[in-house]
Amino acid sequence: MGALSKIFWLGTKEVRSLLRDTVMIALIIWAFGPGLLTRATGHAESVNNASVAFVDEDHSALSRSLMDALTPPYFQTPVAIEPYELDRAIDQSRYTFVVAIPPNFESDIRRGLQPEIQLNVDATAVIQAATGSSYIQEMLTQQVAIFAQRSDPISVSAVDLITRRAFNPNGVQAWFESVVALLDQISILTIALTGAALLREREHGTIEHLLVMPLTSFEIATSKVLASGLVIMAAFAISMGVVVEYAIGVPIAGSRALLFLGTFVYLFSAAAVGIFLGTVARTMAQFALLMLLTIMPMMMLSGGMTPIESQPAWLQPITQLLPSRHYMAFSQAIVFRGAGFEAVRDEFLAMAGLGVAFFGLSLILFRRSITLSR
């Protein structure tokens, strides 16, 4: 009970210190509120409101129907321009796509010929250019086929492929992106809070006060882990309910209690990493550099940006050492597929094991850090 009492009062001191830091509180509110919402909904899921111009040298019914085929919300209303304006319009980025229809285009189609349509693309708009080109090609090809056959083309296939989505039937990217963004915010802030709290004690000289007290390194480190973890856990719960479920509309298919339990275990793992970095770094500047070297791989190799299976074969076993990889699989299985504990047990135990390993290593380095500080 003595150790628990010491951890409780030390943790209370850390929470009070954090609550008095208005800048950090504002950062947490932004990260789990507007920042999360902006990141989840700010990525273009497909071509959206792309600007298009037409150079129509045919002036036929078919060429006008091709202009009408490109409709919102994918494309803006096409603008007709003259041939001499084409190069300047692309150079000035006035339009992302410029479609050039040659003279006698409709008559060539009537004679059974295959005239070419020129598509000019402003490739500096990378995402829109890559996806929009295939959109335009498909729309124009379909419209020409309808005109040539005087009816809707009938596709004949040996295989009738039927796609059914068990989750997210409309394929809304914000649903998936919100979970990935939430993981990244947890990782960044938990590691930053715990590591910075330890370094703040050293830089302000208050570590000397702790050294003369009847406290162990376990009690000091645990209090910082629990204090940071509780604050981030509260922010996570509010963000999950208000931003993810209400604002973005992501349905939670599985157990919320299991999700929160796994999140708490991951917070312990991330906080242990923060304590570890805080003991290795001697100054706040060193800690910031170590954070960049640690958090970026945790975010990139977690499976949120690219699937684990798509990463190099030699790198995939190394990702097993990252708590973020296991938490990503854990949270996606619960939120998207409604998995129970049996399905995510391995990820849960892996997170707990890595947290204990990092925390134990942090305690060893923490003792050395205390010796050096003396």
Give the pLDDT confidence of 230-261 residue by residue, as tens digits: 888 999 999 988 988 888 888 888 899 999 99
Position 54 pLDDT exceeds 80:
yes
Report percent pLDDT > 70 for the chain: 86
The pLDDT, as a whole number, for residue 211 is 60
Name which residue leads in pLDDT, 214 or 226: 226
* pTM, entire model: 0.72
pLDDT one-digit tens code per residue, 105-117: 888 888 888 888 8
- What pLDDT, on the 0 to 100 scale, is given for residue 351? 92
Query: Amino acid identity of 90?
Result: I
Amino acid identity at 146: I
Set out the domains of the chain in order of their start, with CATH numbers.
Answer: 2-43+172-373 (no CATH), 52-149 (3.40.1710.10)
Longest dimension (CA), the chain: 96
- Residue 98 β-bridge partners: 53, 120
Spatial separation of the C-alpha atoms in residues 128 and 144, rounded to whole Å = 23
Residue 156 has pLDDT above 60, yes or no: no
With contact defined as beta carbons under 8 Å apart, do 79 and 53 qualify? yes
- Whether residue 152 is predicted with pLDDT greater than 60 in this model: the reply is no
Q: Tell me, what's the pLDDT at 207?
A: 62
Is the pLDDT reported for residue 103 higher than 60? yes
The residue with greater pLDDT, 71 or 352, is 352
Instruction: Confirm if 9 and 218 have CB atoms less than 8 A apart.
Output: no
Average pLDDT value for the chain: 82
